[in-house]
């Protein structure tokens, strides 16, 4: 096999197989839930409160809306 055949056929074939493998592995990671990363942004103060405190806050908001 001469070097021209190697350059024209084998190298692009191997490159295509490598990129296809990377795309497939990214797809498998996406399907398996790899794209779901918890973000610390957007957390509300209510996430830090206990259940009773959240209920009391919600009742206060409803009472304010009534007035």
Contacts of residue 49, defined as CB under 8 A and 6 or more positions apart, other chains included, come to 57
Residue 54 lies in a domain: no
Q: How confident is the model at residue 42 (pLDDT cuts 50, 70, 90)?
A: low
pTM above 0.75, yes or no: no
Let me know if 38 is exposed, middle or buried by CB neighbors in 10 A (0-12, 13-18, 19+): exposed
What percentage of the chain reaches a pLDDT higher than 70? 79
Residue 16 domain-assigned?
yes
Q: Write out the residue range of the structural domain in which residue 16 sits.
A: 1-34
Six token digits for residue 57: 């806050």
Q: What is the domain count for the chain?
A: 1
Identify whether 42 is part of a domain.
no
- Could you give the maximum distance between any two Cα atoms of the chain, in Å? 88
Query: What's residue 50's pLDDT?
Result: 85
What whole-number distance in Å separates Cα of residue 38 and Cα of residue 2?
Answer: 53
């Amino acid at each position: 096999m001469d070097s021209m055949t190697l350059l024209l056929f084998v190298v692009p074939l191997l490159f295509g197989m490598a990129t296809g493998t990377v795309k497939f592995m990214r797809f498998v990671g996406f399907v398996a839930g790899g794209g779901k990363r918890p973000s610390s942004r957007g957390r509300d103060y209510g996430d830090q409160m206990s259940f009773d405190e959240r209920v009391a806050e919600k009742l206060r908001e409803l009472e304010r809306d009534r007035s």
